[in-house]
Each structure stands twice: as C-alpha cells, then as structure tokens.
Chains A and B, each alone.
Chain A
Amino acid sequence: MGGQRGRVWKMKYKILVIEDDGDISNLICMNLETAGYETEAVYDGNEAAERVRQGADYDLAVLDLMLPGRDGFSLIGPLTERRIPVLCLTARGDVVSKVQGLKMGAEDYMVKPFEILELLVRIEKILGRRGKKNAVLTFRQLKVDMGSRRVWEGEDEIGLKPMEFRLLTVFLQNRNIMLPRDRLLDLVWGEDFLGESRTVDVHVAKLRKKLKSCQAIVTVPRGGYLFEDDQAVTEERKKP
C-alpha cells in the first residue's frame, strides 16, 4: 500500500490493532475488516514498537494502554512521529489516563467496553481530520473520490447532492454494519439536525434510484439500513 502523499489511489485504509487480549483484538479486527478496513493485529508492546520502527505504513493505530512488554503510553510518541494517528482503546476510564493519553498526542480516547459503531465512527472521524480522505472508496462498479467529492459508476459520473454524497460515504465506510436511522441522522445531518427518520428514507431511496450499486443498501426491519458488501464476507470465507 502506498503512502498518503505518494499515491492518490488507495483501496483500503490499513489499521494497526495493538491489543494484548486475543478475543478483543479479534473482535476489533473482525469488525474493521467487515466494515471495509484492512487490519493488522499485534499483541504486545515490544512487537508493536518493532513494527513501527521498521516503517510499516498504517493509516491509524488502535492502541490498548496496558500491554505486556512496552507500556501503551510510550508507543504514542513513536506512532505520532510517523504520522500515524492513535486511538486509545483501554479499560482505564479515569480522567488522568485520558488526559495523559490525549496530551501525549493520541487523537481520541475510548473506554472499554465500547460499541462497535462508535469505534467505526471515531476511526472515520480521525481519518477525515487527518486529511486521509483523499482516498477513493470503491464498491463493485462504484468509485467515490473523497477528495474531489465526485462519484462514478462504471464510466458514468453521477451527480449527487451534498447530503446524498455524505450518506453514501457513511454507508461505504461502515459496510455490513447495521446503521439505525437515528444514527444515520446524527452521522450525516449532524446531531443538531431536528429532522425525522423519514429524511433518511427519502435519501436512501434517492441513492438507490441514482446508483445501481446502492441496491446493496438493505432495509433491516425495525432496525435501519445495512450496506451489504459480500466481498469482505467472501474474503473472510477464504480464510482457513
């Protein structure tokens, strides 16, 4: 995968997951992969430091603060030096740890237990802030250039209204995750927007009409919407 300056085309964001508990690590990786990210899991501090030192290129690191070997706090420095934004994900919910983590350069701080959707949204926000959105999101024939905010399906460029574009990117960044209507309202229109969930339905309908690929948006009864990307799931099936 190329660096953020070198190449414009980037298929997937790559996320380093530094977490010592096997189950939690697997939980994070599983969901990130399903949502369309690429992940790499590291289980102890020394190994993580080694990976970073070797110059492996990641778009973001999810970091547990209590690690065997090297302490998680001491990894924030080396990671940010390499321009890898850090999201601390830890059981330490005390203010001191939070402040320390953020002061040392972490982009965000989440306390376990966490909600999958919240983790995905925060990752997305960090990537957006860090100007890593010049990437292109792809799905089948669909190609979305986050930088120029243009959308192609096959060879044709499709014109989308701003809200439709934002809704589409939210779906593409949270593939296979069930998104309740109120959550979508928050994510796309902002938390101050006093709209109804009908607004979401209307925009989803418009997306489905304008883009063939958006047939992948499935309505979950009494739940919300889910953007089905079989690729992640199929790739998963290929694993031993």
Chain B
Amino acid sequence: MRIRTKITGLVAGVLSGACAVCGTFAVNQYMNISVEKAAAVEMEKLELAERVFGQTGTREELEDMGEVARDAYLKYQFERYYQEGYALLKDQECIKNMTDYDISAPEALKAPYVVQKQGEKYLLIMKRELPYPRGFWVMSVRDITSTWAEGREQAKNFFMVFLWVFGVSMGIAAAVTGRILKALEKLRVQAEQIREGDFSGKVMLTSRDELKDLSDSINSMADQIRQQIEDLELLLGAMAHEMKTPLTNILGYADSLLHVRLSERQREQSLEAICRSAGQLNQMSGKLLQLIGLYENQEMENGPVDLEEVMWHIYQEKEGELSKRNIDFQIRRRDGGKICGRVSPDDQEKPAMCVQGDQLLLISLFDNLVSNSLKAVEDGGRIQVIMDRERRQVRVQDNGRGIPPGDLPHVTKAFYMVDKSRSRRQQGSGLGLALAERIVKAHGGKMEIKSRPGEGTEVTVIFGGGK
C-alpha cells in the first residue's frame, strides 16, 4: 500500500471513528436532556392539575359517594379541570380520554415516562396516581415531535461540523504527506541517479526534519562515492597510460623480432628491452595490487613491529647497491633530543622502537622511501634514517637532488613523476609515494615531506598514538 493511501486512510479512519463516537454521544445526551426536561415540565403540570383537581372534593366526600356517582363526578370534574392531552384511568382502564389517541394497556407503563413513536409523531407518555380515591390515575400524552426534530437538527449540525473538520484535516494531512512524498520522490530520483552512476544530483530540502537529515546523508554519501570513484578512475587512467610505454616496448620489440631481420646484437637488445619492460609491468602490477588492497582495507596484520629491525632488513637488501655506489647509509637513534651515534644490528641494549602494524607493509613503506632516496642521491651521497622513539616518528633524509617546490604537493599522487624519463630509467613506477602514504594512513599515522632542490629530501613518518 502506498504511503499516501496509508496516511489518508489512517487520518480518515481516526477522524470518523472519533466523530462517530463523540457525535452519537453528544446527540444522545442532548436528546435525553430535552426529553427529561419535557418530562419534568409535564410532571409539574400534572402535579399542579392534580392539586386543583383535589379541590373538587375531599377524600371523605368522595368515599361517601357510590362508585358510579363518584366515577361520573370524577369524569365531570376531570373534564372541567384537565385540558386536552390527558386521560383518566381507573384500575388501569381508561374511563375518560381527552387525548387524540387510543389508550391501550396502560399498565405496561412502569417507568416515570416513556417516549412512543406514533407514525411520524413522537409522544411523551406519563401517568400519575391520584392521591384519592384509590385506583385512579391520570395519564398525559404530549407530542414532543418538535424536540425530536430539534435533536435531529442538532445531529445534522454536528454532522456538518464534522464534515468541515474532516475536510480540513484531510486537506492538511494530504498537504503534509504530499510534502513528505515529494521529498521522498526527490530522494528516490537521486538514489536512482546514483545507481546509474550520476553523482552530480543534489537534493536540497528546505525542511528541518528527519528527511533533511536523510537527504544530507545521501548527499554526502554521493560525494564520498564520487570522490572514491574519481580517485580510482584517476588511478586507472594513470595506470593505463603508464602501461603504454612498457607495452609499446614489448609489442614493438617482439614485432621486430618476428618480422624484421635483425643483427644478433639487435636481437639481444630487443630481448633485453622486452625483459626490462615486462619487469616494469610486473613491478607496477605488484604495487597496484598492494595499493588496491589498501583501498579495500583488506585484512591487515596487526602486531608489534620493531622498526629498527625493519630498517636493518632494508639495509641488508640494499647493501649491494649501497657499497657499489659508495653511499653512506646510517641508521641513528634520537634520544632526549640529541642524535646518538650509529646503531648497529647487534646492539645489545637495543631499545627497540615498536609500532603496532603489518610488518610486510611497513617494510614496503620504508623500502619505498629508502629506494626513493637512493634514486635521488648521486654516487657517494648520504642517506640517514633517524628513529625517534619518544615522538614515535621515523625520518628518512638524503642529500640528493630534491623535489621542486611546484611538484611537492603532487608527489604522493599515483603515477606522478617529477622527471618521467629519469624515473623510468630508474625503473620507477610512479606509485612509490602513493603507496607509502596509503600504508602510513592505514597505520593511523601521517607523512611529511620536506625538500629543497639540490639539497635533499626529508620524509618523516609520524605514527599516531602510543601503544
């Protein structure tokens, strides 16, 4: 059932029910009071007439008379004192009827009064026993059709009022539901748009109610989804673009190997280039998978990770390149504000710097940072890693080429490369810092990059909160 039907049905039902009960009760009450009043008036009249009738003879006088004479006398006197609408009963039998109606079985009347319907007329019938002689009753029959008509008029008025209230209420209910439904329809249309991939639609509700809250939520949800989709689209677009160079190489060299007469040296070169490009693609895909995994918040290990161990692990991996290029690589500790001497892997009183997190991801993070430094420094350069246990941060700094200030805000974007050809020569995927930032965020930390062209770069990873 539609909401409109439900709400209008409910309002109509409640209103009619309430009005029917109230109306019936009120009209009944009114009628009762009217009839009662008429009965009271009638009773007074009967009493008055009776008192006057009493003057006609004392109890003794009447008792002295013979029955026939007394009846005739009473009849005579009754005719004199009572007007139309009364009847004299003797032993529940009508002996003088001045009403317009036949009276039958008057003994059936037990209550003080009764209302009887005679054709179109309503009659109030009452009877009262004369104090003497015994066995005589006076019955009064009064036409109270006008009272009834008044009651009916009252009911009609009440019904008119009810109709009016009903109409107004239904109008208000319809307006309110219409408003709500309109808002709901807007929200539905927007949800439909979102389903179809259009996130531009915004619902602007002016009311200040739950619907407004809902629309706000939907709006911000749409924004969030759009942002995420845009991010992923950018990532995807950038990836497709970045894949072109290695793909061009692989296809081109393979094509050449297949269809062109090449010298032995050229063949070798071609194969090497294919290998190199495939390696590049492989690296890119690995990093992308990691990045997407982080986007999807896949299960992350969460255990204590000793960052010094992580750094030593990276050092061992890079040792070959470091010594070949004569690069000074140092891991230092910062204690009480001053940087202490070098840390060596078999330091006995090693105050390990631990964070909660995923060891593999953290290795990947610092591997990326150190690799970046390695790419930036000249042969014979210097890379320093400073572990600050108190402030829970690790800084990787080098005296390499640095990043131009204009590029600095963008370096954490996927596939952003300051110097594309250089980066590619060095097997850069353009994903390193994007990945690093994701990993840091996943660990609830943040990453700060400072750099001066020609002087070096300093990346600080700040891990949030204590253990």
Q: Is B269 an interface residue (CB 8 A)?
A: yes
* B268 vs chain A, min Cβ distance (A): 12
**Of A35, A113, A228, which is within 8 A of B247 by CB?**
A113
Q: Is B249 an interface residue (CB 8 A)?
A: yes
Q: Is A177 an interface residue (CB 8 A)?
A: yes
* Interchain CB contact under 8 A, B421 and A44: yes
B252 to A, closest residue via Cβ: A27
Contacts of B255 in A (CB 8 A): 115-117
* Interchain CB contact under 8 A, A176 and B261: yes
**Of A28, A34, A43, A68, which is within 8 A of B260 by CB?**
A34
Contacts of B250 in A (CB 8 A): 113
* Interchain CB contact under 8 A, B425 and A22: yes
* Interchain CB contact under 8 A, B256 and A116: yes
Interface set, chain A 1-31, CB cutoff 8 A to B: 20-24, 26-28, 30-31
Cα(A236)–Cα(B250), bound, Å: 21
Cα(A153)–Cα(B453), bound, Å: 63
Cα(A44)–Cα(B424), bound, Å: 14
* Interchain CB contact under 8 A, A30 and B269: yes
* A88 vs chain B, min Cβ distance (A): 14
Q: Is A211 an interface residue (CB 8 A)?
A: no
Contacts of B260 in A (CB 8 A): 31, 34-35, 116, 176-178
**Of A20, A30, A113, which is within 8 A of B244 by CB?**
A113
Cα(A176)–Cα(B261), bound, Å: 5
**Of A20, A30, A35, which is within 8 A of B266 by CB?**
A30
* B238 vs chain A, min Cβ distance (A): 12
Interface set, chain B 222-273, CB cutoff 8 A to A: 241, 244-245, 247-253, 255-256, 258-266, 269-270, 273
* Interchain CB contact under 8 A, B248 and A24: yes
Centre residue among B241, B256, B260, B269 by max chain A CB count within 10 A:
B260
Contacts of A27 in B (CB 8 A): 248-249, 252-253, 256, 270, 273
A234 to B, closest residue via Cβ: B263
**Tally of A-B Cβ pairs under 8 angstroms:** 95
A89 to B, closest residue via Cβ: B248
B277 to A, closest residue via Cβ: A23
* Interchain CB contact under 8 A, B261 and A116: no
* A57 vs chain B, min Cβ distance (A): 26
Centre residue among A22, A28, A226 by max chain B CB count within 10 A:
A22
Contacts of A26 in B (CB 8 A): 269, 273
**Of A20, A226, A233, which is within 8 A of B263 by CB?**
A233
* B334 vs chain A, min Cβ distance (A): 38
How big is the B interface, by class?
20 to 34
* B103 vs chain A, min Cβ distance (A): 110
* Interchain CB contact under 8 A, A112 and B245: yes
Contacts of A178 in B (CB 8 A): 258-260
Contacts of B263 in A (CB 8 A): 233, 236-237
Contacts of B420 in A (CB 8 A): 20, 66, 68
Q: Is B276 an interface residue (CB 8 A)?
A: yes
Cα(A116)–Cα(B245), bound, Å: 15
Q: Is B419 an interface residue (CB 8 A)?
A: yes
Contacts of B241 in A (CB 8 A): 91
Q: Is A239 an interface residue (CB 8 A)?
A: yes
* B241 vs chain A, min Cβ distance (A): 6
* A122 vs chain B, min Cβ distance (A): 15
* Interchain CB contact under 8 A, B419 and A68: yes
Contacts of B269 in A (CB 8 A): 26, 30
B247 to A, closest residue via Cβ: A113
* Interchain CB contact under 8 A, B249 and A23: yes
Interface set, chain B 59-83, CB cutoff 8 A to A: none
**Of B261, B264, B273, B424, which is within 8 A of A228 by CB?**
B261
* Interchain CB contact under 8 A, A112 and B261: no
- With A68-B421, A116-B260 as contacts: A236 and B265 at CB distance below 8 Å: yes
* Interchain CB contact under 8 A, A23 and B265: no
**Of B261, B266, B424, which is within 8 A of A21 by CB?**
B424
Contacts of A239 in B (CB 8 A): 265
Cα(A91)–Cα(B269), bound, Å: 23
Contacts of A115 in B (CB 8 A): 251, 255
Cα(A173)–Cα(B170), bound, Å: 89
Cα(A116)–Cα(B270), bound, Å: 13
Cα(A237)–Cα(B422), bound, Å: 29
* Interchain CB contact under 8 A, B273 and A21: no
* B9 vs chain A, min Cβ distance (A): 58
* Interchain CB contact under 8 A, A23 and B276: yes
Cα(A93)–Cα(B296), bound, Å: 30
- With A31-B256, A113-B244, A115-B255 as contacts: A43 and B273 at CB distance below 8 Å: no
Cα(A28)–Cα(B256), bound, Å: 10
Cα(A116)–Cα(B420), bound, Å: 24
* Interchain CB contact under 8 A, A91 and B248: yes
B261 to A, closest residue via Cβ: A176
* B204 vs chain A, min Cβ distance (A): 34
Contacts of A35 in B (CB 8 A): 260
A239 to B, closest residue via Cβ: B265
A19 to B, closest residue via Cβ: B421
* Interchain CB contact under 8 A, B276 and A113: no
Cα(A9)–Cα(B270), bound, Å: 34
Contacts of A66 in B (CB 8 A): 420
CB-defined A-B contacts under 8 Å, sample of 22: A21-B245, A23-B249, A23-B276, A27-B248, A27-B249, A27-B273, A30-B269, A31-B256, A31-B260, A44-B421, A68-B419, A91-B244, A112-B244, A113-B244, A113-B252, A116-B252, A116-B256, A116-B259, A117-B255, A236-B263, A237-B263, A237-B264
Since A23-B253, A176-B261 are in contact, a sample of 13 more A-B pairs with Cβ atoms closer than 8 Å, ordered by chain A residue number, is: A21-B249, A21-B421, A22-B421, A24-B248, A30-B256, A68-B422, A91-B244, A112-B244, A112-B248, A116-B256, A176-B262, A177-B260, A177-B261
Closest 7 CB pairs between A and B? A176-B261, A178-B259, A20-B421, A91-B244, A113-B248, A112-B248, A236-B263
